[in-house]
Amino acid sequence: MPRLLSLDHIADKSRIARKNHRAKLKLIKALIETDGLTNAALCKHLNLSAPKILELIGSLADAGILEQNEKGSSIGGRKPILNKLRKRIFFVLCVEVELFKVRMTLVDNTNTFIHTASSTFLLSKDWSSADQLKALVADFVAAANITWELILAIGISMPGLIHKTEGRNHTYMTNERNAQPLQEYLTAAFDKPVFIINDVKSAAVAELKFGLAKGCNDVLVILMDWGIGLGIIMDGQLRNGAGGFSGEMGHMPFVDDGALCYCGKKGCLETVASGIALAKMAKDGIRSGEDSLLNTLSEHELENIEPQAVIDAANRGDQYAINILSNTGEKLGKGIATLVQLFNPELIILSGKIAEANEYITIPIQQAINTYCMTQLKDFVTVERSQLGADAGAKGVAHITFERYFDQLIAHTQTHIS
């Protein structure tokens, strides 16, 4: 890792040197976020003079961090020069935690995916899940053949109520021994900054920076996996809420005196419209004698059925699978209609595993919105499936992790300047 990206680099430096260092950090951060900028664009972005930008660019180029390339075509004259970071100078590790799986991706400073691997995992309330996750991360880094010193930070997305600054998950991996936040525990374990991020918020950031929400102001991102989460984008910004707990759509009261939810309340939306609910409907229906292609599953396979199995059966024309997906979509649509009434969005993005059911889920969602939403509001909104695919989560985690790491460095430098 370049020494200028470490906290101790500014020790014993003059005030002028620290100001220059802060400007370099801002320039590097800007290049990561934009995948390259011209000199003129950097002047505008950093509010610095052209001579100063040239000085910073020269310094970073001499350090082997920055390179310059001609940018596309020009209308007469010289092509503009694009400043970009050199590949594989430093990395972040992105960890996506699900209920039964962990997906890890090593991402370099040009937002290129270097190495990806998945492992089975059981996410639970017990602190032992944190120890298991720590071991899986260590194994992944060893297998990726990368030295720890090149990794700036680790970003971990996961479901649950996650405090936006403490990185404490109030739903999973709760530490009853000493109340230590998960983020603090893993930071000490790896001797690296670790940032714990709610999974739907990382999905929303991915859509805002790289997906359908780019350039939009008011968007709702619905993550439909084992649970149901909501990412709220208002005025072009992700909204976290006071503690970072915004978007708990899956725990909106939905069924009077309904089934008990894992959150401790009864009748939450997730109990009738989520990956967990879909799997339960499939199991209950097959065991009660429903005619379905899912009858070919063994008892073990049925007990551990995942939403993808239902989607695959629906794509093969299985009417029972189509019906339970439609039932799920209708209930989700009714919940989404309430959100449309509250937020008046221009776009709703459906992402996650259940969104892969395509028209089997999107059509009933749209029909429910048409039924339960005021005409004046529903006419403003478009419902679309995410186009980012399986890499959406890692893209969001990488962006947030780079941003938070550099924000910390810049704030540390500013403290020493003041």
Helix 15-34 with 39-46: angle, nearest 10 deg: 120
Tens digits of residue pLDDT in 82-123: 999 999 999 999 999 999 999 999 999 999 999 999 999 999
Please give the pLDDT value at position 129: 92
How far lies 314's CA from each of 271, 319, 322, in Å? Answer: 21, 7, 5
- Cα–chain center distance at 375: 32
State the residue for tokens 């909104």.
381
> 231, 243, 95: which is closest to 164 by C-alpha?
243
Asked whether this chain's domains 3-85 and 212-387 adopt the same fold, the reply is: no
What is the maximal distance between C-alpha atoms in the chain?
78
Q: Would you say residue 35 has pLDDT above 90? A: no
CATH assignment of 91-202+393-407, given 3.30.420.40, 3.30.420.60, 3.40.50.720, 3.20.20.70? 3.30.420.40
Q: Is the Cβ–Cβ distance between 60 and 27 less than 8 Å?
A: yes
What is the pTM assigned to this prediction? 0.91
| pLDDT, tens only, 193-230 | 999 999 999 999 999 999 999 999 999 999 999 999 99
CATH, domain range 3-85: 1.10.10.10
Q: What is the pLDDT of residue 14?
A: 79
pLDDT at residue 243 above 60?
yes
Q: Which CATH superfamily is domain 212-387 in?
A: ATPase, nucleotide binding domain (3.30.420.40)
| Mean pLDDT within 319-347 | 96
Encoded tokens for 330: 């209708």
Of the candidates 121, 116, 115, which has an alpha carbon nearest to the alpha carbon of residue 98? Answer: 121
**Which amino acid is located at 11 in the chain?**
A
Which residue from 178, 177, 172 is spatially nearest to 198, judged by alpha carbons?
172
CA distance 50 to 65: 20
Please report which confidence band the pLDDT of residue 161 belongs to, taking 50, 70 and 90 as the band edges: very high
pLDDT at residue 355 in the model: 93
Dihedral through CA 256, CA 260, CA 264, CA 270, nearest 10?
-80
Listed by start position, the domains of the chain span 3-85, 91-202+393-407, 212-387
- Residues 320-348, mean pLDDT to the nearest whole number: 96
pLDDT value, residue 48: 95
The answer, yes or no, to whether residue 340 has pLDDT greater than 90, is yes
- Contact at 8 Å (CB) between 164 and 197? no
